[in-house]
Amino acid sequence: MPLCWEVMYGNDPLMNITDPTAQRHVLGGELCMWGETVDDSDLFSTVWPRAAAGAERLWSSADVQDADQFKPRLESFRCLLNRRGINAAAVNNNEARSAPSGPGSCFDQ
């Protein structure tokens, strides 16, 4: 799965819905994970941080779209997931399938 969180964050949930009335009817969305590219050993590290990036775009107003401003929130959220026992990959790990390279806290992204 070669898509990094920045690509997911760059997706506009209202793309191709140009009618403002129709846009108001969009209540949510989903991010899909295809099972043939993942197994139990890398499910959470593959899904996170991509799902967090997509979720912010889905649930935020249309003017919230700056990935640089989102990154500190994502790093903090990743640490929260790790503290809760969820194996979320490091934010700078574009493949999101391997451990960070070297020792350090969850803040050492």
The per-residue pLDDT for 92 is 80
Task: Count CB-CB contacts under 10 A for residue 90.
Answer: 20
The per-residue pLDDT for 36 is 72
Give the predicted TM-score (pTM) of the model.
0.77
The per-residue pLDDT for 12 is 92
- The amino acid present at 76, given as its one-letter code, is S
Residue 88 per-residue DSSP state: P
Instruction: Find all residues with CB under 8 Å of 72, minimum gap 6, and list them.
Output: none
Contact criterion met (CB below 8 Å) for 50 and 96:
yes
Helices (H) and strands (E) in the chain, counts: 5, 0
10-residue mean pLDDT profile of the chain (109 residues): values are: 80 93 91 77 82 92 92 90 87 62 52
